[in-house]
Structure 1
């Protein structure tokens, strides 16, 4: 019997968390799914764990490939998927039991032509006290600009029709992170967005390997995805205008640099500041903060320790 929903799960060294993530799929109130787990050349017992899970539940399909990254693993899963609807879940994250039911209901009658997204919560190591977040309605006249500004929902906080992803393209394997942002930007700009105002996805932080821990890599891949989209959509770039494009791209990179700087994370902030300076972006006050990134790290750290952290009203996020 052909499943109605295909779930694609990449897994790299995820043996510790895999059973918990799979259990959140098995606990769904809607059971007409297939779960395709792609072992991306793991060095731990992930393959053995997913084989055992598949032996106990025929809806689970284990696949294996040499290590090629999360984007390639997801594309491998997509090539095997059979459902009309599609969702993604990483091997260390979970869903609310009604995720599939609520998200598919939101797409009823529009399965092939819309994208549904929901709220989420960050939980786990270092995220104690994080509040649930329900994103706003992005289906507005300013949708593309809002989507360009950042990844508006996590990889496991969305559902769409298989036909849509077949039509508009899968994951960009050139990106080592932000491949979900690149996908949602491409799809969200052409598909109607359906907001499901409930917290149905949970992102688990832990002490293992996670892409989100490399902030500088994320920042640069975010910028690459933005520039790729704008290069492929020159009409959108022209409509926004040169200054708005710079504020969205270089300005976002500067914002991320400041965020890391005031957290004392100079290893992240310094290459971001240097990239912003190379682009010639920023006002005079920004350059006073950016130029020390050219100094040796110990001197830059000493300078940071002598500066007063600005309050929220004074902190610069983007420059005009």
Structure 2
């Protein structure tokens, strides 16, 4: 009688000793016992090693690796190289998964060999509200993940427009890992989004299934600073430039170009808010140069002209007032 398939759970961590115990407990609570956990410590300076060692001492399925600080993508790639499972579950060191996730998603993939990646829903919780079950971190608390199944053009275009899921939502076949290039280590914090787009470009089949007990549970952290958002938008632009060399579908390529212009504009907003007026104005002009639609081009040019005269704390409101309607239409197109 053959053994059940092994699931490799990859947990990158950096100074999350105060969270990773909860993460490992959620893994040990899985109804599917055939897993290995590869914890990759990305150069932590807190008690992460001790916390993981305490769990590993009583559970040999947990392995610990350490590297110099290189961020999450490099940690995930190292974990993948030291894993052996037929299926792969990504799990950040401050997050959790519901108890039946591995059991039910493994069973689905075993029954549907044509599916490469299965994913379910997400709920968010805060540090003070561990039992919360929020659909999103936005004030309206509305679900944001699309329930999309399939492969090919529609999937590629959807992922080019925006990310499809959180990192711990999917369960991935090893053949996907073998076929797709590793996580891009130059794209934090959007390396997971980039990875899913490249999976779709490779023709991988995604499947959404709302199976009971399979939710991804994500810890909601305080809103990031403007400087962090500057770094994030710069990574989005690098991602889009890279994708422009990989995408072959003309419709998806045009959409990627449109979104690149929008990202340049929003990077301009964040540069101005962070106190870099000239860089912000240059980004607005870049957005206008990249933009193909006249209405949008004029809006970004107006932002560039107005930026020196508008207090930086009002810049976001100015941009929102002039662009919200158009952005809503573009996002839904």
**TM-score normalized by the length of structure 2:** 0.79
1:1-320 counterparts in 2 under 5 A?
4-110=6-112, 114-124=116-126, 127=137, 130-131=141-142, 135-139=146-150, 141-189=153-201, 190-198=203-211, 200-206=215-221, 214-233=228-247, 235-236=248-249, 239-240=250-251, 243-254=254-265, 266-267=273-274, 274-279=282-287, 280=289, 281=291, 282-293=296-307, 295=308, 299-301=310-312, 304=315, 310=321, 314=325, 316-317=327-328
C-alpha distance in structure 1 between counterparts of 2:170 and 2:226, whole Å? 18
C-alpha distance in structure 2 between counterparts of 1:130 and 1:221, whole Å? 26
How many pairs were matched up? 309
Segment of structure 1 superposing worse, 191-200 or 108-117: 108-117
Segment of structure 1 superposing worse, 305-314 or 77-86: 305-314
Structure 2 CA distance for partners of 1:156 and 1:302, relative to 1, 3 Å: closer
Unaligned residue ranges in structure 1 (runs of 5+): none
C-alpha distance in structure 1 between counterparts of 2:107 and 2:52, whole Å? 29
Question: How many Å apart are 1:277 and its aligned residue?
Answer: 2.0
Unaligned residue ranges in structure 2 (runs of 5+): 129-136
Partners of 1:139 and 1:192 within 8 A in 2: yes
Segments of 4+ moved more than 6 angstroms: 210-213
Measured against aligned partners, the alpha-carbon deviations of 1:67-117 in whole angstroms (never above 9, x if no partner) come to 111111111111110110001000001111111122222322455861112
C-alpha distance in structure 1 between counterparts of 2:319 and 2:185, whole Å? 42
Superposition CA RMSD, Å: 3.6
